[in-house]
Every structure is written in structure tokens, then in C-alpha cells.
Amino acid sequence: MTQMVPIDSIAGEAVEQLLDRAFGRDRHARTAYRLRAGTHAIAALSFALVDGESLLGSIQCWPVQFDGDDGSVRPLVLVGPVAIVPERQQEGLGRRLMEAALAAAAGGPPLVLIGDPEYYGRFFGFDAAATAQWRLPGPVERHRLLARGANLPALPGVLGPRRHASAAA
Ligand SMILES: CC(C)(COP(=O)(O)OP(=O)(O)OC[C@H]1O[C@@H](n2cnc3c(N)ncnc32)[C@H](O)[C@@H]1OP(=O)(O)O)[C@@H](O)C(=O)NCCC(=O)NCCS
């Protein structure tokens, strides 16, 4: 039986192996990793799915911030990576992880992720409408820079790691 648990209850090495399988070992060079550099995953928004001793999937969320060119500073939450072991994909497990993170994040800062709009738009209401003028610390395909939440800063500015980030959402 699959069970949702806090990701902190899983050995970090097991999560890293899962992510290597889902994304490849070169994943650390991705812009999403630069966005969260120096921060720690937000424990209350990060989950794993297990079946007994087997790790089936994980989701992690990170504290980031948007520095608007108008001087405004907005906290946001970077969602991802979301990963399901290849042999258990297409069973609804990814959706369970996303829904758990979205529920836990409700009422907090807006959410941002880099991912397929065909998945995150269709099922979870993310879109690229607000992000067109956001600058990131690395390359990004604009249509894959997706956000969700009230009062998103739809203006020019820089997205990066949250300064003085704590473990709180
Ligand atoms: C993407 C991922 C997390 C989805 O989890 P999952 O458990 O396989 O997906 P679910 O069972 O919850 O959802 C399945 C549905 O999503 C769709 N879907 C899955 N990945 C998709 C993608 N990249 N683009 C569009 N649709 C996608 C499926 O077609 C299916 O739709 P259907 O119900 O109409 O058949 C998982 O496949 C995975 O780990 N992939 C490799 C890593 C990755 O790409 N992560 C996401 C980027 S952060």
C-alpha cells in the first residue's frame, strides 16, 4: 500500500538516487537548481510516497524570491522536482504528490516551477502568463516557466534563491 510521508523521514541518498533515475545525473546543472542554490527544502511542503521500504516518488519545494525592477520583493515557493520511479509512472502518484504539496502550500506565497505546461497547466492550474519578464540565473524555455497563485508579480525582475531563507514556508 502506498503511503505519503514527510520527505525528511526518507534517507537523503535514496531521494537523490530517485532523482538521478528520473532526470539523469547531469540534473544539477539545470536552472531550477541554480534558483534554489543555498536554500533548504521546505519540510512542510516536501513529501515522499513509499510502499513498505520502497521509495516510489518525491516532491520538494524551495524558498525563492522575486526582486522586481520596481524595488518590490516577493517571496515565492519553487515547486519541484517531482519524480516518480519509471516503473510506477502513469498511476496517479505524481498527482497525489502535487496535490499534497499544493494543499500544504495553500495560503502561502505564490508557486513557481519549470516544467511541462501540458502537465502542470492541465492538472494543476499553472501558467506562464505572469512570468514573461522574469529573469533567471540560467537558461529557461519561457513557456515552461510556470506560476500559480494570487497577486503574482507580472513585471520585470529577477527570480532567485530567497535571502535569509528559513525552513518555514
Ligand atoms: C511527470 C511525473 C512526475 C508525472 O507523474 P505520474 O505519476 O507519472 O503522472 P500521473 O499518473 O499523476 O498523471 C498521469 C497523467 O499525466 C500525463 N502526463 C504525465 N507526464 C506528462 C508530461 N510531461 N506532459 C504532459 N502530460 C503528462 C499523462 O499523460 C497522464 O494523463 P492521462 O491521465 O490523460 O492519461 C512522472 O512521470 C515523472 O517522474 N517523470 C520523470 C520526471 C519529470 O519529468 N518530472 C517533472 C518535471 S519537475
Residues 84-126: pLDDT tens digits? 999 999 999 999 999 999 999 999 999 999 999 999 999 999 9
Distance 153 CA to ligand 1 centre (A): 28
Q: 108 by DSSP, 3-state: which?
A: coil
Residue 50: the pLDDT is 98
- In angstroms, rounded to a whole number, what is the distance separating the alpha carbons of residues 113 and 25? 20
Helix, strand, coil % in the chain, rounded to nearest 5 = 30, 30, 35
Range 2-161 classified under CATH 3.40.630.30? yes
Average pLDDT over all residues of the chain = 95
Task: Quote the pTM value.
Answer: 0.94
Query: How is the chain split into domains, by residue range?
Result: 2-161
Residue-wise pLDDT tens digits, 41-72: 999 999 999 999 999 999 999 999 999 999 99
- If we measure between CA atoms, which residue out of 126, 118, 131, 166 comes closest to residue 149? 126
Residue 167: the pLDDT is 46
Q: What is the percent of the chain with per-residue pLDDT over 90, rounded to a whole number?
A: 95
Distance 43 CA to ligand 1 centre (A): 23
- Ligand 1 pocket at CB < 6 A: 22-23, 80-84, 89-95, 115-116, 118-119
